[in-house]
Amino acid sequence: MQKTLSINEPIFDLVSRDPEVKDIMIELGFQDIAKPGMLQTAGRFMTLAKGIKLKKIDIDTVKQTFRRHGFIIQE
Amino acid sequence: MSELINNREVHETEQTHRQNMLKEIIKELHAGKSVEEVKARFEEAVGDVTVAEISAMEHSLMTEEGIPVTEVQRLCSVHTAIFKGSIEEIHRSSKPEEQPGHPVHTFKLENREIEKLVNFRVELHKDKFRKSDDEGIIFKLLEDLGLLLDIDKHFSRKENLLFPYLEKYGIYGPTQVMWGVDDGIRSMIKEAKALLSGYTGNREEVVSALELIIKEVNEMVFKEENILLPMALDKLTEDEWVKIARESGTIGFCLAAPEKEWVPERNPEPVDAEAKEAESAGTPQGFIRFETGILSVQQLELIMNHLPVDLTFIDENDVVRYFSHGKERIFARTKAVIGRTVQNCHPPQSVHVVEKLLEDFKSGNKDAEDFWIQMKDKFIYIRYFAVRDEEGRYLGTLEFTQNIAPIRALEGQKRILSE
């Protein structure tokens, strides 16, 4: 099944809808999301777009990884 | 929403027509019509009214018409659809954080200067240094890093003034993580300075140290402005921002300072009243009877502040209860630490030391512990004492900090009759 994600939606919302997103993000190198309390607080303000910019992770890599897990990323 | 519009009067006659239309729209939404369908009517009803007016109307819909908050919230989503702004944007008549002197404004002002320093000066000097590592350029880089060390004040205000409020709202994780990164940046700058002042031709090492600083500082600016500050704006009340603004001067500013004192648009009285209350509470008329004498509260406070040492007391639950505030405190303390647990007042890297010490005090393993450090021309003697009652029950810990350099320098003798 295809699932879609928006890069401008708070990470907290993405993960609440689908907990799998958290593991995929950790796999991509967004380690901070795993730290206690991060998701519930900073995660409400953090979006995938901001994370990609901050960590300087290639957006295509992010898209491909999510696609592999059955997601599609909207810009 | 209602708390944002506490002091606005509604002119009923002018509003009645609009209110009726809004009520109609709410009913239609309730009946299942989509936002798209009511959009045109909403625009007609709202037209070019100010945000304040919308808020006032919503408020009166709730209080006078008894329309439930959830229904009014539906209207908010219509605002959003029409104005293409967030609900917060719509409901904040003006943004206090964009006014000079507001702590967020000051943090951002400093960030612009920090960015200029690392992205232009340090970057430029680093490139020059890579080409030719002569003394002139080393001196320039040392100067830049000296300026950048000022970032300590920016970080300290964040850690000691802003974090306590976030903790009050249950936000611990991100603040601890960020504090750790702040400390990392502090030591990176110091290490780069050390590399340059004792330069031995290790050019690549210096370049990569500088590059790391530039990267980390930029990332921190991004995190502050995209996560930390929006989160803080979401949680803190205006009164809390006023308190932070007032205490900021104690710690100081980095590369830029607020151009004026921030006075919130709304009546700033609540804080004033509170401050007055606190002030009068500081000098009550009462007396305290000790086993060995009686002192007025004023005398007691003055005595504490005249002791040539800095005292801080935490209670049996590790909560900071008191600190003396003599003329020259060695380690800055701000009133924001009062009521905060001591674990949250220490950089994460040294927390385990503090916890071990408290554990030993509580278990009765130890009654005191001393540390001493050289800090520029000061020799600082830091002593911790477990405070126990007659039965030996642990009631807290007293921190006693003193610059003993002048004492260590004493020689020979000076007797009262010497002169």
The CATH number assigned to the domain holding B326 equals 3.30.450.20
Q: pLDDT grade, residue B344 (50/70/90)?
A: confident
What's the predicted TM-score (pTM) here?
0.61
Same domain, B87 and B102: no
User: Which residues constitute the domain of residue B305?
Assistant: 290-407
The continuous run of DSSP H or E covering B294 comes out as strand B293-296
CA separation for the pair B368, B380 (Å, rounded): 17
Same domain, B359 and B302: yes
Q: Which residues of B touch A10 (CB under 8 A)?
A: none
Same domain, B242 and B314: no
Percent of chain B beyond pLDDT 70? 76
Same domain, B180 and B34: no
CA separation for the pair B241, B229 (Å, rounded): 12
Give the pLDDT score at B361.
94
Which CB contacts under 8 angstroms, 24+ apart, belong to A16-20?
A20/A69
CA separation for the pair B274, B280 (Å, rounded): 10
CATH topology of domain A3-73: SP0561-like (1.10.3910)
For Cα atoms B110, B115, B120, give the angle at the middle one, nearest 5 degrees: 135
The residues near B387 (Cβ < 8 Å, ≥ 6 apart) are: B313, B394, B395, B396, B397, B398
Give the pLDDT score at B75.
62
φ, ψ of residue B30 to 5 degrees: the values are -60, -35
Q: Indicate whether B165 belongs to any domain.
A: yes
Q: Indicate whether B208 belongs to any domain.
A: yes
Q: Indicate whether B309 belongs to any domain.
A: yes
Q: Which residues of B touch A54 (CB under 8 A)?
A: 219, 222-223, 226
Q: How far is A44 from chain B (nearest CA, A)?
A: 8
User: What six digits make up the tokens of B7?
Assistant: 């002091």
Q: How far is B104 from chain A (nearest CA, A)?
A: 16
B173 contacts A36? CB cut-off 8 A: yes
Same domain, B113 and B57: no
3-state DSSP helix/strand/coil % of chain A, to nearest 5: 55, 15, 30
Give the pLDDT score at B169.
84
The number of beta carbons lying within 10 Å of the beta carbon of residue B114 is 22
Q: What is the pLDDT of residues B156-188, one digit of tens each?
A: 999 989 998 888 888 877 888 899 999 999 999
Bridge-based pairing of strands B368-375 and B378-388 is antiparallel
Does A41 contact B at CB distance below 8 Å?
A: yes
- Torsional class of B42: left (φ above 0), alpha (ψ -120 to 50), beta (otherwise): alpha
Between B88 and B138, the higher pLDDT residue = B138
Q: Which of B91, B119, B153 is the last residue of a domain?
A: B91
Q: Indicate whether B68 belongs to any domain.
A: yes
Q: pLDDT grade, residue B312 (50/70/90)?
A: very high
B230 contacts A42? CB cut-off 8 A: no
Same domain, B222 and B315: no
Q: How far is A28 from chain B (nearest CA, A)?
A: 18
Same domain, B173 and B210: yes
Give the pLDDT score at B85.
43
Q: From B166, which residue of chain A is nearest by alpha-carbon distance?
A: A41
Q: What is the pLDDT of residues B369-417, one digit of tens each?
A: 999 999 888 999 999 999 999 899 999 999 999 999 999 999 998 888 7
Q: Which residues of A touch B172 (CB under 8 A)?
A: 37
CA separation for the pair B329, B334 (Å, rounded): 11
CA separation for the pair B233, B64 (Å, rounded): 30
On the 0-12 / 13-18 / 19+ scale of CB atoms within 10 A, B350 is exposed
A54 contacts B173? CB cut-off 8 A: no
Interface test with A, best of B104, B162, B217, B226 (most A CBs within 10 A): B226
Q: How many domains does chain B have?
A: 3
B172 contacts A37? CB cut-off 8 A: yes
How many beta-carbon pairs under 8 angstroms link A with B?
37
Same domain, B294 and B189: no
Same domain, B124 and B154: yes
The overall average pLDDT reported for chain B is 80
Does B153 have pLDDT greater than 50? yes
B227 contacts A46? CB cut-off 8 A: yes
CA separation for the pair B310, B324 (Å, rounded): 6
Enter the ipTM. Answer: 0.78
Q: Indicate whether B261 belongs to any domain.
A: no
CA separation for the pair B407, B404 (Å, rounded): 5
Same domain, B189 and B328: no
For B347-358, what is the mean pLDDT? 84
Does A32 contact B at CB distance below 8 Å?
A: yes
Does B84 have pLDDT greater than 50? no
Q: What is the pLDDT of residues A39-48, one digit of tens each?
A: 888 888 889 8
Q: Which residues of B touch A51 (CB under 8 A)?
A: none
Bridge-based pairing of strands A3-6 and A71-74 is parallel
Q: What is the pLDDT of residues B96-137, one digit of tens each?
A: 888 889 999 999 999 999 999 999 999 999 999 999 989 899
Q: Which of B195, B223, B251 is the last residue of a domain?
A: B251
Q: From A56, which residue of chain B is nearest by alpha-carbon distance?
A: B219
Q: Indicate whether B260 belongs to any domain.
A: no
Same domain, B136 and B244: yes
Instruction: Please report, for chain A, how many H helices and E strands are present, in that order.
Output: 4, 2
For B15-21, what is the mean pLDDT? 67
Interface test with A, best of B227, B234, B236 (most A CBs within 10 A): B227
Q: Indicate whether B268 belongs to any domain.
A: no
CA separation for the pair B306, B327 (Å, rounded): 8
3-state DSSP helix/strand/coil % of chain B, to nearest 5: 60, 10, 25
Instruction: Among B33-42, B61-70, B233-242, B383-392, name the most confident range.
Output: B383-392
B223 contacts A45? CB cut-off 8 A: no
Same domain, B67 and B114: no
Q: Indicate whether B259 belongs to any domain.
A: no
The continuous run of DSSP H or E covering B65 comes out as none
Contact B183, B84 (CB under 8 A): no
